[in-house]
Structure 1
Amino acid sequence: MIMTDARTDTSTAASNSGDTHDVLQAKGLTRTFRVGSGLRGRGRLHAVDDANFSIGRSEIVALVGESGSGKSTIARLLAQVYRPTSGEIFFDGKPLSSLRSRREVLRYRAAVPMVFQDPFSSLNPAYPVSHGILRGLKLHRPDIAPGERRAEAERLLTAVGLSPAAQIVDRYPYELSGGQRQRIGFAQALAYRPKLILADEPVSMLDISIRIGLLNVMTALRDEQGVSLLYITHDIASARYVADRMMVMYAGRIVESGPVDDVLGDPRHPYTQLLVAAVPDPRAELAVTAEMAKGEPPKVIDPGPGCRFADRCPLARDVCRTTTPPLLELAPGIEVACHVAAEEAGRGTESMATAR
């Protein structure tokens, strides 16, 4: 399947929304879990460590990384399934830790709904697919009269590419394909009138022939509804197709972020370089190369200082094993957590200054 670029200019989309500031920010976001039992076996698994990122209005941000890197944990932190061990999440400039009343929490969860990976278990088989949509409208859209909810549900189904909506709305999940069920998930999220949708591997369980349709739904939500999306995936091809920016995650840490074309066109972190080298054709599926498989898996239970990719990195130096690299802006809009990349960027700056 050939994927052409479905992205729009982010600045244009943001200006169309009438607001250019970030819809969500995370600062020092950390989540650890206690593992083991007994005094000697007790430790802390660092699922997410000191993550700093933002998501702009009318923007799709792809969060890429291998299994176990902490991508889904970030989604669950943003969805308030987990509470951060430390750090803060700001939504529309307001810290989530300040939400006190049930009404405030429900308002946030309506503004930031989640679309799950498995379209076969995310819908209740005992109810028609309209059930979740109508319930969302009842709870979060008091402006819609009871007699108008069905028409609104049909409008939402049409918005995610399900037509004729009048025939779909009363069907049960078992009567729909996987792709149709996943579109229902996006329709349910839209019923809340969201500002940001958390899409956790929404196309990974679908046949490749129908993935493109769901990716186009995501871009349409951004372009036509002004909705932002955090798209969690391990598939570089689909991330390049839909995302405006990309964040690369490894062993609980964000190691590189920036505009998707810059990150994939000129990767600076060795882990990102290996990911891109494994997919020389951006339309191909992500595969693990022999070089990526070298070394031990990253230690995320009580990790010490240093870069967690050091044992698998072909460029690792002594400092990489003793000092944790901070996420630094090495070029406009490009942030990288790598001692080697920072040193190379410094040499490049010095060379430019000397040439002047």
Structure 2
Amino acid sequence: MTELLRTHGLTRHFKVGGTFSGKRLHAVDDVDLTIEEREIIALVGESGSGKSTIARLLARVYAPTAGEIIYRGRPLAKLRRRKDLLSYRGDVPMVFQDPFSSLNPAYRVSHGIMRGLILHRPDLNAAARQAEAVRVVEAVGLHPAAEILERYPYQLSGGQRQRVGFAQALAYRPKLIIADEPVSMLDVSIRIGLLNLMAALREDEGVSILYITHDIASARYLSDRIAVMYGGHIVETGPTEDVLADPKHPYTQLLLSAVPDPRAPLDPDAVVDRGEPPRVVDPAPGCRFRARCPLAIDRCAVETPLLRELGPRHSAACHVAV
């Protein structure tokens, strides 16, 4: 497969406290992540792990504190011209978590799609823009498209609004869609439709998708590859089935143990969460999971583990993983 986007040492820190405070919140630290063409990769972790910060770094909502993002072989830091920046934002749009606040309630559905077409595809005339708006609305499974375009957001269900978000992204002719928890605020009964939509967009439109979620089950259903985040670090990554069938990092094992199986009896030896969330404000060296880890050793308190390959394309950042 062909590499589409890669991060190297991607880091984002935020200042916390008062004016003279020197404290920093380490939202993302030293992340190396690769996304290939026509690939769906799931970024998984609990709330506060840094998943959404990575999404906003890739979408250029935030600037990195350190590290770089390389898109199609070109560092984003070298994009200076407005034309190049617009081109990247059209290639890498974002679909937000909340379908109720991501659309402007004062405008019809057509407004956001048409505005994106005018901004990112100036080669289209008025008739072509209208035809393209109809096409992308139909592509996300909303019918009749002409009627949907004339509705206001309050006239749509949550699932329909989220599909409109994907239609807006699709109008740009994207190469990578960043989907930040796109189904977490929807009823369980309609989540599968959105997951199937993302899979269909990859097949029909050729886009890659970075699917950000805390839901292991949906990550398994949708993604080709999975990256597990904890405390601002990626702690495990690899093909989805390999990672979930044979998790190497204790945190990944903990996530999987938290997914209930109604058919299985209770396991008294299951991995149990026994600690507090990680400290990410001026963290000390060492593994940030060590306080919750049943396998922690002395080395974990003084040396931050790095990702190391433990199988074909399967890596974990753990001193004791084998």
Residue number in structure 2 paired with 1:150: 130
How many pairs align? 316
> Are 2:175 and 1:185 equivalent residues in the alignment?
no
Q: Per-residue displacement from partner, 1:107-146 (whole Å, max 9, x unpaired)?
A: 1001000000000011111111011111111111233221
> 1:159 is matched by which residue type in structure 2?
A
> Are 2:179 and 1:217 equivalent residues in the alignment?
no
Counterparts of residues 66-215 of structure 1 (less than 5 Å)? 66-215=46-195
Counterparts of 2:173 and 2:311 in 1: how far apart (Å)? Answer: 36
Contact 1:89–1:95, Cα closer than 8 Å, also in 2: yes
| SS across alignment from 1:23 | strand
Deviation at 1:164, TM superposition (A): 1.3
| SS across alignment from 2:166 | helix
| CA-atom RMSD in angstroms | 1.5
Counterparts of 1:22 and 1:280 in 2: how far apart (Å)? Answer: 36
> 2:2 is matched by which residue type in structure 1?
H
**Which of 223, 226, 240 is residue 246 of structure 1 equivalent to?**
226
Q: TM-score, normalization: structure 2?
A: 0.95
Counterparts of residues 329-340 of structure 1 (less than 5 Å)? 329-340=309-320
Q: Per-residue displacement from partner, 1:271-310 (whole Å, max 9, x unpaired)?
A: 0001111115499xxxxxx965422321101111110000
Residue number in structure 1 paired with 2:243: 263
> Are 2:25 and 1:21 equivalent residues in the alignment?
no
> 1:196 is matched by which residue type in structure 2?
L
Deviation at 1:103, TM superposition (A): 1.2
Contact 2:40–2:225, Cα closer than 8 Å, also in 1: yes
> 1:114 is matched by which residue type in structure 2?
M
> Are 2:308 and 1:328 equivalent residues in the alignment?
yes
> 1:241 is matched by which residue type in structure 2?
Y
Distance 1:136 1:197, change over 3 A: same
| SS across alignment from 1:202 | coil
Counterparts of 2:312 and 2:175 in 1: how far apart (Å)? Answer: 27
Counterparts of 2:49 and 2:261 in 1: how far apart (Å)? Answer: 24
Residue number in structure 2 paired with 1:12: none
> 1:224 is matched by which residue type in structure 2?
D
Deviation at 1:152, TM superposition (A): 1.3
| SS across alignment from 1:87 | strand
Q: Which deviates further from its counterpart, 160-169 or 183-192?
A: 160-169
Counterparts of 1:168 and 1:296 in 2: how far apart (Å)? Answer: 47
Deviation at 1:42, TM superposition (A): 2.6
Contact 1:138–1:146, Cα closer than 8 Å, also in 2: no
> 1:235 is matched by which residue type in structure 2?
D
Contact 2:257–2:271, Cα closer than 8 Å, also in 1: no
Contact 1:237–1:282, Cα closer than 8 Å, also in 2: no
Counterparts of 2:236 and 2:277 in 1: how far apart (Å)? Answer: 19
Deviation at 1:169, TM superposition (A): 1.2
> 2:17 is matched by which residue type in structure 1?
G
Contact 1:248–1:257, Cα closer than 8 Å, also in 2: yes
Deviation at 1:38, TM superposition (A): 5.4
| SS across alignment from 1:340 | coil
Q: TM-score, normalization: structure 1?
A: 0.86
Contact 1:236–1:282, Cα closer than 8 Å, also in 2: no
> 2:280 is matched by which residue type in structure 1?
V
Q: What residue ranges of structure 1 are gaps of 5+ in the alignment? A: 1-19, 284-289, 346-356
Counterparts of 1:282 and 1:329 in 2: how far apart (Å)? Answer: 34
> 1:87 is matched by which residue type in structure 2?
G
Identity %: 68
Contact 1:61–1:247, Cα closer than 8 Å, also in 2: yes
